Chains A and B, each alone.
Chain A
Amino acid sequence: MELRSREAAEDAVQETLLAALAAESSFAGRSNLRTWLTGILKHKIVDTIRRTSRERPLEGVDGEASVEDLEALFDETGHWREPPQAWPEQALQDKQFIAALERCLELLPARTGQVFLMREHLGFETADICKELGITPTHCWVLLYRARVALRDCLEKGWLRR
């Protein structure tokens, strides 16, 4: 999802395996092959994101970094138009929740989705994401806020109320 296209993802995996073969000796002492490969893959993904953002410099970020369209979620006194509901705690075990989450992630604007997944799935610190993508921390916070608000709204409509 971070890479936006199947070919880019396949390339990243292929490069990971090549890098893994080339660096075989450094595996010694690592307890878990999967952890090690995942680590390399994360770096590859970041490389690819960095490369793509150089080719298409920060496309769409200005639009994505404003919160104007999020204003629509609140009335003129700043209250939720549709107040968030209590979600069942067992959502994490619910296959339909996970499926809905994946669908909702796909609907995020490209840069918003990248930043959100770098933060929440790959576990990068906000400061590192800013550095990688060449955006300011405030930009980063807006994108994360946008992603979270959009995801919870999408999940409430696509999963909770069904």
Chain B
Amino acid sequence: MATPLKLTCKEASRLLSQAMEAKLPVWEQARLRLHLLACDACTHFSRQLELLRRAVARLIDDR
């Protein structure tokens, strides 16, 4: 990590998953937002998690 503010994709992906379970501390939210601004891959990852959540919630009801 170059600066304490900077997150790696590895850290960001873990925080994105954790944010689906519990509110992140404000500091972590800020670091995450900053990372997402600059990182397409993690932005895609974040949207994929939301899509997964919606897809799995309605899995069996569709059958």
Of residues 20 through 63 on chain B, the ones whose CB sits less than 8 Å from some CB of chain A are: 20-22, 40-42, 44-45, 47-49, 51-60, 62
Task: Tell me if B56 and A84 are in contact (CB < 8 A).
Answer: no
Contacts A74-B8, A87-B47; is A121 near B56 (CB within 8 Å)? yes
Of residues 98 through 148 on chain A, the ones whose CB sits less than 8 Å from some CB of chain B are: 98, 101-102, 105, 116-117, 119-121, 123, 126, 140-141, 144-145, 148
Report the Cα distance A87→B50, complex, angstroms: 11
Task: Tell me if B9 and A79 are in contact (CB < 8 A).
Answer: yes
Task: Tell me if B14 and A145 are in contact (CB < 8 A).
Answer: yes
Task: Tell me if B8 and A86 are in contact (CB < 8 A).
Answer: no
Report the Cα distance A64→B36, complex, angstroms: 28
CB-CB < 8 A to B57: which residues of A?
120-121, 123
A78 near B: Cβ within 8 Å?
A: yes
Contacts A74-B9, A84-B41, A121-B60; is A141 near B52 (CB within 8 Å)? no
Interface residues on chain B, number (Cβ under 8 Å)? 30
From A73, A87, A117, A140, give the contact of B48 (CB < 8 A).
A87
Task: Tell me if B21 and A126 are in contact (CB < 8 A).
Answer: yes
A21 near B: Cβ within 8 Å?
A: no
Task: Tell me if B17 and A120 are in contact (CB < 8 A).
Answer: no
Report the Cα distance A91→B56, complex, angstroms: 12
CB-CB < 8 A to A155: which residues of B?
48, 52
Least CB distance, B25 to chain A, in whole angstroms: 14
> Residues of B with Cβ closer than 8 Å to A?
8-11, 13-14, 17-18, 20-22, 40-42, 44-45, 47-49, 51-60, 62
Sample of 5 more A-B contacts, CB < 8 Å, known A71-B10, A86-B44: A79-B10, A80-B45, A101-B59, A105-B56, A120-B52
